[in-house]
Amino acid sequence: MGLKRLNEDEAVELVISILRTAGKPLTTREIEMATRKRMVSCPDRTPVFLNRLRLKGVVKGRLSAEERAWIWWIE
């Protein structure tokens, strides 16, 4: 059974929920693993979708030298 592809609004709610529950910045890979655990996927590839949310101001994101990956959070 494949992953259910979420629509834009469902995916935004899910990403915000994942970040809120974590209570700390998460890497792109951690967010992708959390969505796959729920058997769903974002409308685009996860990095593309997260970057679109960053550009819209929905989430914050930056390249982390410590994690050697992009990290994402909400304020």
> pLDDT digit string (tens) for 1-44?
578 999 999 999 999 999 999 999 999 999 999 999 999 988 88
SS3 65: coil
Q: Where do we find the tokens 């992953």?
A: 3
pTM for the whole structure: 0.91
- For helices 28-37 and 8-22, the axis angle rounded to 10 degrees is 110
Neighbours of 5 (CB within 10 A): 12
Q: Where are the domains of the chain?
A: 4-73
Span 4-73 CATH architecture: Orthogonal Bundle (1.10)
